[in-house]
Amino acid sequence: MAIPEEVFFATVTELSQRLRDKEFTAVELTRAFCDRMEKLGPRYNALALLLREEALRKAREADDEIRRGRLRGVLQGIPFGAKDLLCVRGKPTTWGARPYAGQVFDYDATVLRKLDRARAVLVAKLAMVELAGAGGYRYASASLTGPGLNPWDRTRWSGGSSSGSGAAVAAGLVPFALASETWGSILTPSAYCGVTGLRPTYGLVSRYGAMPLSWTMDKIGPMCRSAEDCGHVLRAISGGDSNDPSSSGKSFYYAPQFARKFSDLRIGYAPVDIEEWAEESARPAFRQALEVLRSLGVKLVEVELPDLPYGLVAGTIISAEGSAVFEPLIRSGKVEELADQKQIAGLKAGLEIAAKDYFKAMRIRRVVMEEMRKLFTQVDVLVSPSRFGPATRISEPLDRPARPKPEPKRRGLRDLGAAGNLAGLPALSLPCGFAENLPVAIQLVGRPFNENNLLALGKAFQDQTDWHRRRPPVGA
């Protein structure tokens, strides 16, 4: 049967109900998404590997269980994609980089095994920036599959390093995708592509079977159509794992109905984020997003991050750990096969970081964690733009000067991305409007393991708005 166009942009919960209502089967749904991925995935440089045969086999199993009344939850029979740093048994896992193009593992990543247990259907591995950006990179083209192209405007970037995951969800190629974040790789493509992305608390989701970039900062999370969908996916992929030494051993149960009353919540924000740090074209959308949050009954409180070198600390840790991870690649000389010269140089330079500098960064990181803990005694959630403006142009170097004019005197929450990742805090990116005809988004950041409050707020925000329902224009 022909699957209607709107199905490709439906939420997971909507698709689950339609499967149970027998509007279509899991096989029909999976075949339709595979066809769409095969046709449009290359248009956005989003597809790393199509898994049609395996997906249809899993979909048939899901259909059989649904027919027999063996219902396993909302993800049963739902297609999805996974960033190509997650290994799939017997299939290439390229990490987005030429030196690893033929790499094959003989086991599945833990998160993929958990989604298989929930009977979700993996249809594709999705493109990414090479080595998830280890060493730093200058151009969006730093990928085996080429630059991630934004479905809203293909002259713009879909964001890194989870470029394929963001583009695939935005373009309706999959209902949801798994991505990873070390310093912005879930929130950035979510914001640029107009989808909802969740960075879980460090240690809540196993990283076994995922390419390491920074052992002490890597996190795996979902990119979906809605906050509610993120909750369902997080429930499936969370939990302890003895194969991951960083695992917290905690599980997550999606229960927004038991989150704190909004009237009891204090949300910290910094006016300077919107009025000065944000690009002028995006300010109206961010102002309106704050008003929507205020209308939910929360109390907005002005806050500011303490004066600490967040970016320098995060950069030092990621550089030192990333170069240690890829030392064999660097020493072998195969690092020269990477697409981005800045990344090659950065990986080499990371090996020269002195132990004293790494440990100094880790000591300052502990101060950051303590300062964030203190900040969360004053507020329950922090809100700030996920990115201060819309997606950058593909042709623009990513290390270009950010502002042509003097920076604002107040820090606000502009370093929330670095601070939140250093402290391992959960964050939810929510589409909140448009600037220059491109999506922009806000991020909600909470205390560790406080995802239910973020998701409840996110769902309420999306009940009041329709930004997450918007689709890229046909032919963009």
**Which residues make Cβ contacts (< 8 Å) with residue 58, sequence separation at least 6?**
30, 116, 119, 121, 122
- Amino acid at position 154, single letter: R
Quickly tell me which residue has 């750990």 as its tokens: 321
Instruction: Tell me the β-bridge partners of 279.
Output: none
Q: Are 474 and 150 in contact (CB under 8 A)?
A: no
Run of H or E including 312: helix 310-325
Confirm whether 185 is a catalytic residue: yes
Instruction: Tell me the β-bridge partners of 440.
Output: 433
The full DSSP string for 374-403 is HHHHH-SEEEEESSSSSPPBTTS-TTS-S-
Catalytic residue among 58, 83, 125, 459: 83
The Cα 419–Cα 366 span in angstroms is: 11
Q: Are 132 and 93 in contact (CB under 8 A)?
A: no
**Which residues make Cβ contacts (< 8 Å) with residue 454, sequence separation at least 6?**
198, 227, 381, 426, 427, 428, 444, 445, 446
Q: Are 221 and 205 in contact (CB under 8 A)?
A: yes
Angle at 245 between CA 244 and CA 246, to 5 degrees: 90
Distance of CA 418 to the CA centre of its chain: 15
> Helix, strand, or coil here: 119?
coil
Cis peptide leading into 161, omega within 30 of 0?
yes
Q: Are 149 and 158 in contact (CB under 8 A)?
A: yes
Confirm whether 219 is a catalytic residue: no
Beta-sheet pairing, 438-446 with 427-435: antiparallel
Catalytic residue among 180, 185, 214, 384: 185
Confirm whether 83 is a catalytic residue: yes
Catalytic residue among 16, 141, 161, 384: 161
Beta-sheet pairing, 266-269 with 381-385: parallel
The residues assigned a catalytic role are 83, 161, 185
